[in-house]
């Protein structure tokens, strides 16, 4: 059994389990039971808080809720299709990022589980356990430890789930997705993504490096619209109203530098060109290493 932690790091009494599925995963929550004054000890006192956290964290990661099942021992005697409930007034599947009121969704799920209990042929409380099923290619590709980090709240880096890309248009889209997720996240993306130490190249009409959009998004969020090289504000805004800055690898990828946040800075176009082509670019690079505390002076190395 796992227990979530809230945004302050407080561990909640709200047990849940995670199960990998071929096309996604299932999160099973245990509802509150027992009593502080009765024969059965109280358990899962923070069930409501825990359920809300799970729903919010699904939204932070652009997850799609595909199915909800009552999963109590008595309900499990029924077929899977007979155990399904769905909150009234919500589309199925449900894009969690589109949900505006998570408590309203939680209550709607609760009403449907109560209705299931009242119409079930078996006796007793059939809704002690609810299984939330998420199905999508992205969810299917998530490792169980990554899912545990997301739903226990033990890893602030878990918002960085965008896959690397070599195509410029796809990379821009993934960067935008990563930034939206970071801004919705309760962790605000403060913990950086791991990035890539060994950056792949793909061939086409020309070669391209496969870059991590999470690294670009994190660096841009840290810069907050100002060049990390000269401290000036971005020279203009893009069509999407974001300040225009370019992410530069202090040790270029072509020189074997990693695609990680300790090798990347957000620069205005002028400083970016200076770092690539200026006559004093090595001196400028050294000053940047001293100026930005997270940077590491990665050595030049051959690349495959």
Distance of CA 71 to the CA centre of its chain: 26
Each residue's pLDDT tens digit, 198-246: 888 877 666 778 899 999 999 999 999 999 999 999 999 999 899 999 9
Residues 6+ apart with CB under 8 A from 250: 257, 263, 264, 265, 275, 285, 288, 289, 295, 297, 298
More confident residue, 127 or 270: 270
- In the block, tokens 């789930």 appear at 161
Mean pLDDT of 164-192: 76
pLDDT for position 176: 87
More confident residue, 86 or 185: 86
Confidence of residue 122 (pLDDT cuts 50, 70, 90): very low
pLDDT for position 185: 64
Q: How far apart are CA 115 and CA 100, in angstroms?
A: 24
With contact defined as beta carbons under 8 Å apart, do 111 and 70 qualify? no
Q: How far apart are CA 290 and CA 147, in angstroms?
A: 37
Q: How far apart are CA 86 and CA 93, in angstroms?
A: 10
Q: Is the pLDDT of residue 31 over 90?
A: no
pLDDT for position 119: 62
Q: How far apart are CA 64 and CA 92, in angstroms?
A: 9
Q: Is the pLDDT of residue 69 over 90?
A: yes
Structure tokens at 304: 């495959």
With contact defined as beta carbons under 8 Å apart, do 207 and 190 qualify? no
Q: How far apart are CA 250 and CA 52, in angstroms?
A: 41
Neighbouring CB atoms inside 10 A of 171's CB total 19
Phi, psi of 199, rounded to the nearest 5 degrees: -90, 125
Report which DSSP code applies to 290: H
Phi, psi of 85, rounded to the nearest 5 degrees: -130, 160
What is the end-to-end Cα distance of the chain in Å, rounded?
44
Neighbouring CB atoms inside 10 A of 37's CB total 6
Each residue's pLDDT tens digit, 99-112: 999 999 999 999 99
Classify 157 as helix, strand or coil. Answer: helix
Please indicate, yes or no, whether the overall pTM of this predicted structure exceeds 0.75.
no
Confidence of residue 294 (pLDDT cuts 50, 70, 90): very high
For residue 97, what is the enclosing H or E element?
none
According to DSSP H, which parts of the chain are helical? 47-60, 102-119, 137-140, 144-152, 168-184, 213-223, 269-277, 281-291
User: What are the sequence ranges of the domains in the chain?
Assistant: 16-154, 163-291
Q: Is the pLDDT of residue 157 over 60?
A: no
């Amino acid at each position: 059994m796992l227990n979530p932690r809230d945004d302050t790091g407080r561990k909640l009494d709200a047990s849940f389990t995670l199960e990998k599925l071929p096309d996604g995963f299932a999160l099973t929550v245990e509802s509150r039971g027992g009593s502080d004054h009765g024969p059965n000890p109280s358990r899962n006192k923070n069930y409501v808080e825990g359920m809300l956290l799970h729903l919010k964290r699904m939204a932070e990661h652009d997850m799609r809720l595909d199915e909800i099942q009552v999963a109590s021992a008595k309900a499990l005697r029924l077929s899977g299709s007979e155990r399904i409930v769905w909150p009234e007034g919500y589309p199925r599947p449900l894009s969690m990022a589109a949900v505006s009121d998570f408590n309203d969704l939680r209550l709607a799920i609760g009403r449907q589980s109560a209705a299931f209990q009242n119409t079930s042929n078996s006796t007793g409380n059939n809704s002690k356990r609810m299984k939330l099923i998420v199905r999508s290619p992205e969810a299917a590709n998530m490792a169980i430890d990554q899912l545990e980090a997301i739903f226990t709240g033990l890893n602030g880096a878990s918002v960085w789930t965008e896959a690397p890309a070599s195509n410029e248009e796809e990379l821009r889209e993934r960067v935008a997705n990563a930034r939206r997720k970071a801004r919705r996240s309760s962790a605000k993306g403060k913990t950086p993504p791991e990035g890539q130490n060994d950056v792949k190249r793909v061939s086409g009409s020309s070669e391209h490096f496969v870059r991590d959009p999470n690294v670009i998004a994190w660096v841009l969020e840290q810069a907050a619209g100002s060049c990390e090289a000269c401290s000036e504000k971005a020279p203009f805004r893009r069509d999407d109203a974001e300040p225009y800055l370019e992410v530069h690898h202090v040790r270029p990828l072509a020189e074997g530098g990693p695609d990680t946040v300790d090798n990347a800075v957000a620069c205005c176009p002028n400083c970016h060109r200076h770092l690539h082509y200026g006559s004093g670019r090595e001196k400028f690079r050294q000053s940047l290493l001293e100026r930005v505390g997270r940077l590491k002076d990665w050595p030049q190395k051959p690349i495959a």
